[in-house]
Amino acid sequence: MLYTLKKHYTLYLMILPILIYFFVFNYYPIVKGLMISLQEYRLIGDRPFIGLQNYITVLNDPVFWRALQNTLVIGGGLLILGFVAPLLVALSLNEVFQPVFKKITQMVIYLPHLFSWVVVGGIWIFMLSPDVGLVNGVLRWLGADAIHFFAKEDYAKPIMILSAVWKDMGYICIIYLASIVGISPVLYEAASIDGANRWQQMIYITIPQLVPTMKVVLLLNMMGILRIFDQVFVMSNPAIAREVNVLMMYTYEKGILEFDMGVATAAAFLVIFATLILVSIVRKVIRYDME
């Protein structure tokens, strides 16, 4: 081993800054956070270890369970709609034969991904405004009454789901389109010779060839469903807060607003553990490591 180190020491020196970076900015905060979750954390003074008391406090808090329920509903909607909608758009764009129209469409649907959630939240609040919003304008034109979308709890979760899908649809769609471009044209030529039409080619060639990409997208979406925060933080208000208060908002309120760092980090680690379990189950179910 010593001989190997001497022989390749330049390579080890090159990788050293990367290892230091990960240790300082990734692993150390995780270890420190785990320690805080086991302490009665104070800004000044002693920080005695109290075992799993913070975790017990979180699990006995009804607000946490309410936040978990909201997270699962919103995250489930994001998981399903955020997986299916970009796939349908990518398959539809693949059937467009005019390059200019195709590129413009890709650019338009990708643009929201470049915006911060502050901008996206402002757009949705403006579009759904009861006075000058586009949606309520259409409703009034059809003879219906205006709806106060951001004041009614029934619309809170759908708005969070649709806005998130709208923002990231272009990004995931590009991933699907890149995968479609990589499909061998020989397969389509052979199918055409055998008399397959475009629909049959999409069903029997394009979609099966996209399965590995679908697995990646599904796994990425799964890793994010318990980390919903930005859109809720930007678009929530007291009228709908009860319906959209998710786990990350619970952690934020405990840690930043109430400065109960022990409980906040315990809640954060519960989210990490739950995410690891969910991802492991999904990897097993979809046979992620198999072709």
CB atoms within 10 A of CB 31: 11
- pLDDT beyond 90 at 227: no
Beta strands in the chain (DSSP E): none
pLDDT at 98: 84
167-207 residue pLDDT tens = 999 999 999 999 998 899 999 999 999 888 888 999 999 99
The mean pLDDT of 12-21, rounded to a whole number, is: 90
pLDDT at 164: 93
Query: How does residue 80 score in pLDDT terms, banded at 50, 70 and 90?
Result: very high
Distance of alpha carbon 83 from alpha carbon 95, whole angstroms: 19
85-108 residue pLDDT tens = 999 999 998 888 788 888 898 889
- Do 113 and 167 touch, CB atoms closer than 8 A? yes
- Do 71 and 157 touch, CB atoms closer than 8 A? no
pLDDT at 101: 87
pTM (predicted TM-score) = 0.86
* Residue 126 CA to its chain's centroid (Å): 24
Distance of alpha carbon 288 from alpha carbon 187, whole angstroms: 24
Per-position DSSP letters for 226-251, written without gaps between them: GG--HHHHHH--TTTHHHH--HHHHH
Query: How does residue 74 score in pLDDT terms, banded at 50, 70 and 90?
Result: very high
- Written as six digits, the tokens of 100 are 């200019």
Share of the chain above pLDDT 90, in %: 57
- pLDDT beyond 70 at 291: no
Distance of alpha carbon 246 from alpha carbon 252, whole angstroms: 10
Query: How does residue 5 score in pLDDT terms, banded at 50, 70 and 90?
Result: confident
pLDDT at 287: 81
- pLDDT beyond 90 at 48: no
- pLDDT beyond 90 at 46: no
